[in-house]
Structure 1
């Protein structure tokens, strides 16, 4: 395996180029790592930055020794990840999730899993706006000053994922004035 292994906290991670992803996974499977654990994605880019990159991780286990190995690669906005579902059947679900939630292109384009066909965007990306926080307020306890029984003790901030207060649907009292 032509990778660059790094070990931290007892876990060895093999960093592979995207072109060598499938070859490295096939080599791991052939060496006895036949137990699939998980495949995950990390949004490693900055919102709005050119050349959006995602880090993809694959963790597999050798059932004889119970030793786990992790592969890591980076996928660009225009790149497609080679599927490893033919090696580990459980990887298909994880690849489908990566395609829907992060917009990762996966070879053998997977069908929808969690979101309807009409859904726009990829909800686990950093640049996805959480519009539901604007349309429907957070159901938890009100912040100080919001319930009109006490003076505000701090500046009110926007919910996470809302770009600025002017974004989103207008309230009725704002639109009539």
Structure 2
């Protein structure tokens, strides 16, 4: 079970857990909770190498202004994970290294946010085949929408005069496996 930590106490609590013997930084990751709450959940796992016991801590931050104190002063290895999370989810780590790790600055998005539109999936036709060489066998099968592509009524063919789609609405419509409608 994860120990829940308020975001403002994140670095101090992690430092205390380190002093309690959990000196090995195992991993830090992020979960987009859209559809359940308007938050990102950060999960940290630490290890006591003497006892082989692990501890998991989690904190939550608002999706609209995701800011979390850095852990790089407690565990230097956390800086790498924080830079990755910043690139992929847009979480800002206060006091940390904000240099992009994986994506160029011009990218402008955060591809692991559930409301991020994966335009390449919408632009390239989905083959409908599950295995190589299966394309001929699936020629008569109805085309399926790839995972991550929202329903065209929500994103794409939406009326330009309408208000933009709500992020939760986009996420709920971006389920793979729908049959594409013929136009």
Please give the TM-score of this superposition, normalised by the length of structure 1.
0.74
How many residue pairs align between the two structures?
150
Structure 2 residue aligned with 1:157: 144
- Which residue, 100, 112, 120 being the options, matches 2:100? 112
Question: Does structure 1 residue 100 correspond to structure 2 residue 87?
Answer: yes
- Which residue, 25, 31, 44 being the options, matches 2:33? 44
Higher strand share: 1
Structure 1 residue aligned with 2:76: 89
Structure 2 residue aligned with 1:141: 129
Whole-Å separation in 2 of the counterparts to 1:88 and 1:149: 51
Is 1:158–1:165's contact at 8 Å kept on the other side of the alignment? no
Structure 2 residue aligned with 1:10: none
Question: Matched residue of 1:118: which SS?
Answer: helix
Structure 1, unmatched stretches of 5+, are 1-6, 8-12, 169-177
Is 2:11–2:74's contact at 8 Å kept on the other side of the alignment? no
Please give the TM-score of this superposition, normalised by the length of structure 2.
0.72
Whole-Å separation in 1 of the counterparts to 2:4 and 2:66: 17
Structure 2, unmatched stretches of 5+, are 158-183
RMSD: 2.6
